[in-house]
Amino acid sequence: MLIVAVVVVTVAAGVSLGLLATGDDGGPAGSEQRRTAPGTSEAASPSAPQGRPSPTPSPTRSYPLSQAPRTIPAVRSHTAARGPGWRPAQGERVVVSDGELADEGRLIAGELGLTYAGEKDDVRAGDVRLALNDDEGADPESYTMTVRGGRVTISGPGEAGVFYGTRTLKQEVHGGGTAPEGVVRDEPAKPVRGFMLDIARKHFTADWIEDRVRELGDLKFNQLGLHFSDDQGFRIESDSHPEVVSRQHLTKAQVRKIVQLAASRHITVVPEIDSPGHLGAVIAAHPDLQLRNVRGVATRGAIDISKGESAEIVDDLLNEYVDLFPGSQWHLGGDEYQALVVSDPEASYPQLATAAREAHGAGATVADLATGWLNDRADTVRAHDRTVRAWNDGFFRDTSVQPDKEIQVAYWTGKEIGARVPVEYLRAGRELINYNDEFLYYVLGEPQTFVYPTGERIYEQWTPRVVRGTVAVPGTYDDQILGGSFAVWCDLANAQTQAQVAAGIRMPLRATVQKLWDAGRPELSWAEFRALADRLS
């Protein structure tokens, strides 16, 4: 490589001016920094090759070696270089090399006050160019961002990766900042980076949810779970069963708008109609379907799965909402079925025991019947080409009926009767999503033993492998842990307002996505991370 030496020329006034070091491609020479915090010292400049005359110096501005950008989540690597970097200016353009990136281009142009110019082949000063590359086998959420010569190029193998590159650029220039010269190469550690919201127990307005979608998108989350059916409410308009819908609810038009906004941020909305427990709002409209024990006492929230009508109404609802939620993911719930928290389910619920034997053979139990229910609901949703998940306490030990192997485990607790440790699921080859209630559960009113999680604790102690309690599972299972999800549950719905919830989850969300994007020990201290979050707000 031909390197132009940094030399010093002394002008008449005695002022020293340096030359900009450049590589043979005209771009700035540099060195790679991996998760490097600002403050890296400037490397010594190379000398001119021996045997060749030094170029005639000219008075050109000298730039220090660039520093790695500070963003949330932090970028995985940055190759430093010398140059002015880039900041948006009126009249500059966002252009795309591929028409599929028009939405991403329009969004970042509007956010930075630039002109969206569409597909262009020409090059102008100040351009931001978005492009798809043909890097086969690369993570579709990865991207490369090059800042050089007063321009920015963001490329990736998929639209999601390019979008994440625009989020990095947006943070870099926030508040008048400058995107540093050099090359960012970035990708997430985990493919599932989620936030789950309980809108069944507490009604959240569509506007509030849309604000969270924008926040999640800027932080590179890619899933939004909506738990919209429970004992306290059923919160989305229904055409097949309007009688189950709560007075305060979202219309389908509002949900479509949320889903569309989420899609523009590459966020999949994951719906959840929990069953066979947590169906109180449905049962209130259909009391004949409520589970009753041998003494005729109603069991809170539990539907009687020995009745064919129970399966019919739940399947009606699942089928109805498939078109409303076109994403690839679905949550079936499956947790806390109260028939299985008593000491002898077969004696307490003889109708369930009879149905189990009729469906699955002489030795079948109520747990077998509940497992068959979960599998049947999975079949209903998978007919629409959805990937399904269920809470870990919806999987039972020592049953003759086995849960379908394709159902992902949404692991949240280890406190249920007959609790199974995470390694049991992983050893069986199941994929798992981490909802660890010790770190990731924000339960309004802090009932039972719950306390509001802090961003600091997540940032310093949690990783995706810390699935239950505070101990990580062995690293050999890392690939089966798809990621994690921070969750807001509204057990005591009036304990906080919407604004208080937004404020309370602000730092926990940022800490969670940092550890899902890069599970390693962060370079910044918690105080530095918090200060960065405040600066980027």
Catalytic residue positions, numbered: 336
Q: Do residues 492 and 445 make contact, with C-beta atoms less than 8 angstroms apart? A: yes
SS3 content of the chain, % helix, strand, coil (to 5): 35, 20, 45
Q: Do residues 69 and 35 make contact, with C-beta atoms less than 8 angstroms apart? A: no
3-state secondary structure of 111: helix
Report which of 379, 378, 360, 377 is spatially closest to residue 368, judged by C-alpha positions.
Answer: 360
Listing DSSP states for 285-316 in one string gives H-GGGEEE-TT-PEEEEEE-TTSHHHHHHHHH
Q: Find all residues with CB under 8 Å of 229, minimum gap 6, and list them.
A: 200, 235, 272, 273, 274, 278, 279, 281, 282, 317
Using DSSP bridges, classify how beta strands 93-96 and 115-119 pair: parallel, antiparallel or unpaired.
parallel
**Cα–Cα distance between 396 and 370 in angstroms, integer?**
9
| Radius of gyration of the CA atoms of the chain, in A | 28
3-state secondary structure of 380: helix
**Cα–Cα distance between 332 and 261 in angstroms, integer?**
24
**Cα–Cα distance between 414 and 317 in angstroms, integer?**
30
**Cα–Cα distance between 202 and 457 in angstroms, integer?**
26
CA 256 vs CA 70, 196, 251, 321, 431: distances in Å: 35, 18, 9, 11, 29
